Amino acid sequence: MQELVIVGGGFAGTWAAMSAAATRHAHSEEKTGISVVSRLDSLCIRPRLYEGAKEEMLVPLKPLFDEIGVNLIHDSVESVRGRTLSLHSGRDLEFNSLVLAAGSAVNIPACEGAARFGFLVDDFESTRKLDDHLAKLDPANVTEGTIVVVGGSFSGIEIVTKLRKRLGEAYRLVLIDRNTRPGSAMGETLETPVMQALKEANIEFWPETSPGQLTSSCLHLSDGRKTPSQTVIFATGFRANALSEVISRDTDTSGRIVVDEMLRVADAVSVFAAGDVASAMADSTHRTLMSCQHAMPMGIAAGRNAVLDLLGLEPVAYAQPFYATCLDLGASGAVFTNGWERTIVKSGSEGAAMKAQINTQWIYPPAPSIGRQKIFEMMQCA
């Protein structure tokens, strides 16, 4: 019996599992085993965490995997040796084909005190820790009432504008970024609505600013300024899981493996990568981003190709020419754009309705109750 192992139970790993099971079924090859190694037993709807940690954002994996004939191994991978995974539990797991979909984590700046005193909106537990902390703050106290978000790109903007909507006007909210304007990494199209949303929400923006040192009650900035705060939230970009650099030498500055159009890892045999650990060409000129928008289709392609590889069949190239962005701006609604040039299609309340549809429907996996055949059909049509 041949074994496909998928490392990671996030968006890429979950969609890889569904696609692999659908491909196995299509070729009547039920003797091929499929296992997913996941540190968590639920898929966390990570793009929603800026709203705060809610139980509805945790989707149990076992009912879905049981329905499609995939084995869930609740564990984590410590190391890779040839075709053997060493797990945290001490178990060794052999594979014939591997899909690495181990995800990413917030890339915390190397400033003193950041890891100890800073907060993250990165996974369910870190977000719940922040929620519990926020609930205990007294906004009348200047140190407790000042909240700083570090990082003025997609995540940081969504976090800080949603905090204003969640917490009301009593808190002083500050967004700092090393660039001159918030959202500049997303292009000029979004700069104006972002600046307007920050102004309307009374959120201070400090440009060309980086953290220097963080204590339990103060953020010292690299330019010598400081601000009292017990709540500094880092939204400073993501770095791929360290396993990517164990499996391949060909990684980019974010630690992502540069894969070919089949999502193969060049210097490994029968190994594919998808999601945040992989950098692939989405179209002829653009590379994938660390986003569930790319992770899900990449997972589908990697899971399918891993099974085809085991069966000695031709893999199918990954391509994703359509690209869209939907940025939540709190009380100002949201901005929905089409294309890599980010042409604004919807904004305000219309954008917010689109964001709600994306967050509560489009990025959730299918319910096990629809049955395996329907799930398989969804994967074949994707």
Q: What CATH number is given to the structural domain containing 33?
A: 3.50.50.60
* Structural domain count of the chain: 2
Q: Are residues 286 and 218 in the same domain?
A: no
My answer on whether 230 and 245 are in the same domain is no
Give domain status of residue 54, yes or no.
Answer: yes
Helix ranges (DSSP H) in the chain: 11-26, 61-68, 114-117, 124-135, 154-167, 188-200, 243-247, 292-310, 348-357, 372-381
228 shares its domain with 242:
no
> Among the three residues 179, 204, 234, which one is the final residue of a domain in this structure?
234
Q: Are residues 143 and 252 in the same domain?
A: no
Q: What is the DSSP letter of 144?
A: T
298 in a structural domain? yes
Asked if the structure places residue 351 within a domain, the reply is: no
Going 186 to 188 to 190 to 191, the CA torsion angle's sign is positive
Q: How far apart are CA 48 and CA 15, in angstroms?
A: 18
Domain identity same for 157 and 143: yes
Decide which of 177, 205, 234 is a domain's last residue.
234
Q: With contact defined as beta carbons under 8 Å apart, do 355 and 48 qualify?
A: no
Which of 218, 234, 250 marks a domain boundary?
Answer: 234
Residue 164 resides in a domain:
yes
Q: Are residues 144 and 87 in the same domain?
A: no
Structure tokens at 100: 């690495």
Clarify whether residues 161 and 226 are in a common domain.
Answer: yes
pTM for the full model?
0.96
Q: Which of 364, 272, 264 is nearest to 11 (CA)?
A: 364
- Whether 196 and 269 share a structural domain: no
**pLDDT tens over the chain, length 382 residues:** 899 999 999 999 999 999 999 999 999 887 899 999 999 999 999 999 999 999 999 999 999 999 999 999 999 999 999 999 999 999 999 999 999 999 999 999 999 999 999 999 999 999 999 999 999 999 999 999 999 999 999 999 999 999 999 999 999 999 999 999 888 888 888 999 999 999 999 999 999 999 999 999 999 999 999 999 999 999 999 999 999 999 999 999 999 999 999 999 998 889 999 999 999 999 999 999 999 999 999 999 999 999 999 999 999 999 999 999 999 999 999 999 999 999 999 999 999 999 999 999 999 999 999 999 999 999 986 6
Residue range of the domain that includes 191: 114-234
181 lies in the same domain as 211:
yes
Residue 154 domain flag? yes
